[in-house]
Amino acid sequence: MNFENDVGSLQHIVAMELRYQNIMNFIRRPGALGNQDFRNFQDLRRLRELINRQEVAQQVNQPRNERINIDSDILSYQVNEHNKVGVYVTADPLSSENYYFEIEILDLGQIGAIGVGLVPRGYHLDAQPGWRAMSVGYHADDGKLFKSEGFGKPFGPVSQVGDKLGCGIKFSKDDDGETPQQVKVFFTHNRKEIGIVMVQYPPGGLFPAVGMHSEGEEVKLNLDAEWHYNELVLMAVDSGEDEWSRLHDVKLNGSLLEYNGRGKSIHDVGLAQARFPLDTTNHYFEIEIVDPGENCYIAIGVAKKTYPKNRHPGWNKGSIAYHADDGKIFNGSGIGDHFGPRCNKGDVMGCGILFPPDYDSEADSDLSPDDPDVYNDVLADENYSDDDDDDLYDEVEGRPVNGQPPEDGTLVCVFFTCNGKIIGKKPVCIPKGGFYPTVGMLSNCEKVAVDFRPLTG
């Protein structure tokens, strides 16, 4: 049979469907299915599969939209009785050849609730990009980034009429020919890049999407917008520089941190602090001691954003850290407590936070959309499990610690690991603005390799 021609003939399909029903009735009789009938049955099943494949292909290659008016490249919000979100999703996902698109805001409408971003195939058309799983979106009305949830984080400027918002993927060379697990999604505001976020890459890819939610909102969609390829490649080089906000007496060599201070006294601490704080989506990081140097004065921990640059993490208030040379934990003072094993070359030290179930990262953050240091480089994987997790969570329900009422702030549980095993935990109050991954070093030739994403495989 020529199945492609059969699909094109509606009359033949109807006749085949009647034959299908007759055969189905016939084969229900024990021993009634002969060789010829069996071949007819197989032909019919293959034909139905072909029809289904063609219908699916036609749906996949069409843009999808709900509550959006479309006039050529102009998209506008369609007022509806239930005041639902309007969403437009393109027919094709972004690719290494077509990796960027833009919208221009023509009218903010009543509230300017316009979102631009990327969504997976089959995304529900009742949610702004970024509100649901495996999607990400930058929103014009508040300048926040939404990633797989309905709570946004400060990310970029609030937008006005005439502003252009762009979104793209920085495909790396390693992605060619293979499906990447994660990709770097970047956003632009008036042709200037404002930030990057790591996003899981779902089966079928990530599709450009535009969301709206108030009367009068209107944008111009440009799927052929250009972003200079040379600039893209340059920015896609993973030097690790974007991961850090401060490097004091520490130099960066790829993913390696190398101490380059004097190493003569306690005033010569080298400090490296990450650009983004730990949160419920990215709550753990690790370092591997590549070279212990002269004394292995290496520490891993978390600290507030304004932590002194020449103090080991854990020494001052607003920080807590595990030190490799003596296996002690320092919690806001220069006196440490025995905590875990001493670490040396090849050992992997980890630090993470277990947040209470009702933790609200937005309420506990003092960052604003105008903060130039906001850099929301986050992950999709928040599934860190350990046999001790239940015990850890028991200590972050707000009960007094050691009989004393907690300090101002949300109580969380900071835990530390050595070579993949949890060695201890400490309930502490998270400072306003959050806890930032912090590494300290203090003797010549010390080197560590940092992994901000050890839980993603």
Note the pLDDT tens digit of each residue in 361-414: 545 544 333 333 333 333 223 333 333 333 333 333 333 334 344 445 789 999
Res 250: pLDDT: 94
pLDDT at 52 over 70: no
Q: Which of 102-106, 244-248, 373-377, 416-420 has the lowest mean pLDDT?
A: 373-377
- Predicted local confidence at residue 361, as pLDDT: 57
Residue 47 confidence class, pLDDT cut points 50, 70, 90: low
CB within 8 A of 448, min separation 6: which ones? 256, 257, 287, 288, 289, 290, 298, 439, 441
pLDDT score at 391: 39
Is residue 345 predicted with pLDDT exceeding 60? yes
What residues have CB less than 8 Å from 224, skipping those under 6 apart? none
Q: Across all residues in the chain, what is the average pLDDT?
A: 78
For the stretch 210-253, pLDDT in tens is: 999 999 999 999 999 988 644 444 333 344 566 888 999 999 88
Which string of DSSP letters, residue by residue, matches 297-345? Answer: --EEEEE-TT--TTS-TTTSSSEEEEETTT-EEESSSS--EE-S----T
* pLDDT confidence of residue 10: 45
What is the spatial order of strands in the sheet that 284-291 belongs to? Answer: 250-253, 256-259, 447-451, 284-291, 348-354, 411-418, 421-429
**Confidence check: pLDDT of 13 > 80:** no
Comparison of pLDDT for 416 and 359, the residue scoring more? 416
Label residue 180 by pLDDT band (50, 70, 90): confident
Q: Which residue has the higher pLDDT, 28 or 322?
A: 322
Full-model pTM: 0.46
Q: How confident is the model at residue 175 (pLDDT cuts 50, 70, 90)?
A: low
**Token duo for residue 257:** 């941190």
Question: Could you tell me if 170 and 235 are in contact, meaning their C-beta atoms sit under 8 angstroms apart?
Answer: yes
Report, as an integer, the average pLDDT of 99-124. 95
pLDDT at 226: 86
- CA gap 383, 457 in Å, rounded: 12
Highest mean pLDDT among 59-63, 262-266, 278-282, 436-440: 436-440
Residue 114 predicted with pLDDT over 90: yes
Average pLDDT on 17-46 reads 53
What is the model's pLDDT at position 416?
A: 96
Q: According to the model, what pLDDT value does residue 172 have?
A: 76
All domains of the chain, ordered by start, with CATH? Answer: 64-234 (2.60.120.920), 238-367+406-451 (2.60.120.920)
Q: Examine the pLDDT at 58 and tell me if it is beyond 90.
A: no
Q: Is the pLDDT of residue 37 over 90?
A: no
Q: What is the pLDDT of residue 452?
A: 85
Residues whose CB is less than 8 angstroms from the CB of residue 111 and which lie 6 or more positions away in sequence, other chains included? 141, 213, 214
Pick the most confident of 57-61, 135-139, 379-383: 135-139
- CB count, 10 Å around CB of 183? 22
Find out whether 330 and 312 touch, Cβ atoms under 8 Å. Answer: yes
| 53-62, 184-193, 326-335, 368-377, range with the lowest pLDDT | 368-377
Q: Give me the DSSP letters along 219-286.
A: EEEETT----HHHHHHHHS--SGGGEEEEESEEEETTEEEE-S--SSGGG-EEEEESS---SSS-EEE
